[in-house]
Amino acid sequence: MVSENKLLLSFLLELSEALSNYGQLRIQEELPKLFCEVIKADGCAVYVQKINNYILHKQYSSSASSHFASSWRQIGWNLSTAAVYIDAPETAGRYFQGGIWQRCLLLPLLREDKIEGVLLAGWAGASPLDGLLQEELRLLQPISQLLSDIYCTTHLITALKEREKSLSILYQKAEQELENGRRQVSLALHDEVGQVLTSILLQLNILQQSEDLDYVKGRLGGLSHITQQTLEEVRRISHNLRPALLENLGLQAALESHIKEYTDSTGIAVEFRHHNLEERLPDDVEIIVYRAVQEGLTNVARHAGASSVMINLTVKGNKLLLQIEDNGKGMEERKSSGLGLLGMEERVKLAKGKFWLLNQKDQGLTLNILLPLV
C-alpha cells in the first residue's frame, strides 16, 4: 500500500510540475507518455466527450502492436464515476483493439459529477497497482480532477478567448459607429438646421426694424415655410436616433412602416405576421426587436440572395419570439463580417434573452430571438 501511495504521489507531483513547465496545450500532448513512464504502463489513451460519444483524443503505446479504439462506443462498455482497476486479463483486453493486455485502469474525468472523459491505461503484464484494493483507488481522485482540468476545460478557454476577441472587435465597431453617428448628427445640425436657423434669425432681425406691416406679413409666410422645413429636418435626424413611429405608435406600426420602405427600395417581398401585439411592450424590448428586424433585413439584402422574407413576431405570456426567415443561400457562402449579428446577439443577451440561428445551405437562414417581457 505504501509503495502504491508513493507511486501515485510521484505521478501527481510530476504532473503538476509538467503542467507548470509545459502549459496546458503541451501537457495534453505529453501526458499519456508521462503517465506510462511514471506508473510503468505499456499504453495510455485519453478519451474526451464529444456530443454523445467519447472520442480518442491522445494516446501513447510502447508497442506498435497495441492499439486503442477511436471511440468509446466501439468498446461498448459503460463508464463509472469512480476509478476502476481490472487485473483479470480476459476483462482487461476488452477495452483495447489489438495487443495482449493483462491489466487496465479506467480513470474518469469528472466535472461537477459528470463524466467528461476517461483515461485508459494498460499493462501487458504485472502492474504496480496489483494488490491495490478498489476502495483505495480513491487516491486517484486528485489525479482525476487534475486531468479533467487539463482536458475538459480547454474548449471553454478557447471559446472564451474567441468571444473576448469578438467582443473587442464589436466594441471597436460600436465606438466607430457611435463616433460616426455623432459626426453625422453634428454635420446635419450645422449644415442643415444651423444655417436655416441663422437665416431665420437674420430675417427676423430685419423684420423687427421694418414698419411696413404688409411687407412683414409677406415675409412671415416665407419664414413659416422655412421653419416647417427645419422642423422636418430635425424630425429626420431624430428618427435616425430613435424612430418616431416606434416612440409614438409602438412596435407594430414602426415595423410595418420600415418593412414597406424596405420592400419599396429592395424589391424583396416581406410577409409580416404578428400575434398579441395589441399592448405596448417594454421600451428596451421594442428597440431590440426593431433593430433586430432592421439588421436582419439589411443582411438579407446584402448577403442572402433572397427574394422573400417571412417575419413572425409572437407574444405569449411573458415571452416574445421573433423569427426572420429568408429563402436565400444560407450563411455559409455569405461574406458578412458577422459583427451585425454579434451585436444583435449581445443586445439580446443583455436583456436576458436567447439568440440562435438555423442555417440551411441553399435553403435560407432563420434568425430566432426569444426575449422575456418581465
pLDDT at position 52 is: 79
Higher pLDDT, 185 or 255: 255
User: Across the chain, which distance is largest between two alpha carbons, in Å?
Assistant: 119
Distance (Å, whole) CA 233 – CA 343:
29
Mean pLDDT in residue range 127-135? 78
More confident: 31 or 314:
314
Question: Which range among 5-9, 55-59, 162-166, 342-346 shows the weakest confidence by mean pLDDT?
Answer: 5-9
C-alpha cell read off for 231: 422642423
The enclosing H or E element of 216 equals helix 213-241
Cβ neighbourhood burial of 241 (10 Å; 0-12, 13-18, 19+): exposed
Written as nine digits, the cell of 226 is: 422655412
Over range 2-11, report the average pLDDT: 62
> Are 309 and 297 spatial neighbours (Cβ–Cβ below 8 Å)?
yes
Q: Alpha-carbon distance 341 to 338, whole Å?
A: 5
Residue predicted with more confidence, 225 or 86:
86
Instruction: Give the number of other CB atoms < 10 A from CB of residue 229.
Output: 12
40-49, 171-180, 212-221, 267-276: range with lowest mean pLDDT:
171-180
pLDDT of res. 311: 92
User: Does residue 209 or residue 271 have the better pLDDT?
Assistant: 271
Q: Could you give the percent of the chain with pLDDT greater than 70? A: 75
CATH number of 248-372: 3.30.565.10
Return the number of other C-beta atoms located less than 10 Å from residue 116's C-beta: 18
Q: For residue 174, give the amino acid letter.
A: A
Q: CA 163, CA 71: separation in Å to the nearest integer?
A: 30
Q: What is the pLDDT of residue 241?
A: 60
pLDDT value for 335: 45
Q: Sort 322 into a burial class: Cβ within 10 Å, 0-12 / 13-18 / 19+.
A: buried
For domain 2-152, the CATH class is alpha beta
Tell me the per-residue pLDDT of 347-370, one tens digit each, with 9 for 90 and over.
888 888 899 888 877 778 888 999
- The helix/strand/coil state of 125 is coil
pLDDT of residue 334 exceeding 60: no
Each residue's pLDDT tens digit, 69-123: 888 887 777 778 888 888 888 888 888 877 678 888 988 888 777 888 888 889 9
For the chain, domain boundaries? 2-152, 158-241, 248-372
Q: Is residue 271 helix, strand or coil?
A: strand
Is the pLDDT at 231 greater than 60, yes or no?
Answer: yes
pLDDT digits (tens, 9 = 90+) for 184-217: 666 666 656 666 676 677 677 777 777 777 777 7
- Alpha-carbon distance of 311 to 296, in angstroms, equals 10
DSSP string, 55-118: EEEEEEESSTT----SBHHHH-----SS-EEE--HHHHGGG-SSS---EEEEEEEEETTEEEEE
Average pLDDT, the chain: 77
**pLDDT class of 336 with cuts at 50, 70, 90:** very low
Q: How far is CA 241 from CA 182, 195, 244, 297, in A?
A: 10, 21, 9, 18
- Collapsing DSSP states into helix, strand and coil, what is residue 308? strand
Query: What residue ranges in the chain does DSSP mark as E strands?
Result: 43-50, 53-61, 84-86, 103-111, 114-123, 269-275, 308-316, 319-326, 354-360, 364-372
Q: Which residue has the higher pLDDT, 189 or 29?
A: 29
